[in-house]
Amino acid sequence: MEYAGPRAALATLGGSPTWGLGDRFHELAATRGHTRLAVHRPETPYGLGPEVEHYRGPSGREFLRIPTYGQVVDEDPVLHASEWKTFWILWKAGVRVLLVGGTSGSCDWRRTAADEAAVRPGDFVLPRSYLTRDTMPTGLPGTELEFCLPRQVAIMDDPFCPPLADALRSRAGRVADFRFRRIHGPEAGVVLNRWLAGNGFESLATCRMLEASGRQIGMPVITGDCVSPVLARVCGMHLAYYHVVANWGTGLEPEDPTIVLNKLYMETLPAVPASLELGFLDEVSEPTTCRCRELLRARPPEYARALSPRAAK
């Protein structure tokens, strides 16, 4: 299938940090000198895709924005293959740097007032690694990336591009009129428990388990939304992921996460991450000092020949 949408090397999937802006991200962007050139709705091999906004920033750089991880109102993202549609679009559009933001709970075991270094609500996190407890897309069905394991394998060291994490860290430290309580870089070893598009929060048991395993491996765990790091790597993209800690994991502390989250999404945020994203996208270029592309390893041709041949069409 031919891709009929706009092309760019940079893209953002928006996400929960900018949720509170509703469909007005472009209005805030305009106040920062970014022009929304057009809005597209491309067809994909998996059905009609999400909206694709095409922007040009003050420096002349162009980027794409797909709102909220490619999700569509009233459609189950898994049932409607939203991650495949989104990545097919980004891949065909030639995207090399993909920015994704998330929010959600901290399951850090260090929760007393004296635990200064802990990952707490109000913090900004650049995770070091991730856990996958749900099935995640690892290829793009119907394309040469459908099941590419015999030809190439994604090594998942540095799932989140380190130079891009540095760029995000420095941006987060100089947002106008706002201070994150603390910024945790990759050296803090925070683990993202990837959780996308469920209709509920994690249960108390899940949070207790993440708290205990974090203590055991010496890496605090946060829960949060992020697209598949494997899919990003297989599609040849550098994944820049940032996380704003909104609340404690459900049940770990006597707080109501919906109240905390609504206040955060509607009031405290979302202009802060929106400005951070716009500034980042207008400045960043494809990193050359990371291993993101090298970590997608080619394999000997024998491996593919060891599988049954493709069925005759």
Which residues of the chain form contacts with Zn ion (CB under 5 A)?
A: 161, 238, 287, 290, 292
Minimum gap (Å) between residue 136 Cβ and Zn ion: 19
SS3 50: coil
Q: Which is nearer to Zn ion, 107 or 237 (CB)?
A: 237
Which residue carries 């009929």 as its tokens? 4
Minimum gap (Å) between residue 286 Cβ and Zn ion: 8
| Cα→Cα distances 213→34, 126, 249, Å | 43, 19, 14
Minimum gap (Å) between residue 293 Cβ and Zn ion: 7
Cβ partners under 8 Å of residue 220, min gap 6: 106, 107, 108, 109, 110, 118, 119, 188, 189, 190, 191, 214
Report the amino acid identity of residue 162: P
Q: Which is nearer to Zn ion, 195 or 242 (CB)?
A: 242
Q: Which is nearer to Zn ion, 196 or 239 (CB)?
A: 239
Minimum gap (Å) between residue 166 Cβ and Zn ion: 11
Cβ partners under 8 Å of residue 148, min gap 6: 139, 234
Minimum gap (Å) between residue 297 Cβ and Zn ion: 15
Minimum gap (Å) between residue 292 Cβ and Zn ion: 3
Report the amino acid identity of residue 286: E
Q: Which is nearer to Zn ion, 238 or 243 (CB)?
A: 238
Q: Which is nearer to Zn ion, 46 or 241 (CB)?
A: 241
- Whether residue 250 contacts residue 108, with contact meaning beta carbons closer than 8 Å, is answered with no
Minimum gap (Å) between residue 171 Cβ and Zn ion: 16
Encode 194-205: b = buried (16+ Cβ within 10 Å), e = exposed.
bbbbeeebbeee
SS3 269: coil
> Other C-beta atoms within 10 Å of 311: how many?
5
What is the C-alpha R_g of the chain?
19
Q: Which is nearer to Zn ion, 210 or 240 (CB)?
A: 240
Q: Which is nearer to Zn ion, 289 or 308 (CB)?
A: 289
Q: In DSSP terms, which residues pair with 192 in a beta bridge?
A: 130, 222
Q: In DSSP terms, which residues pair with 146 in a beta bridge?
A: none
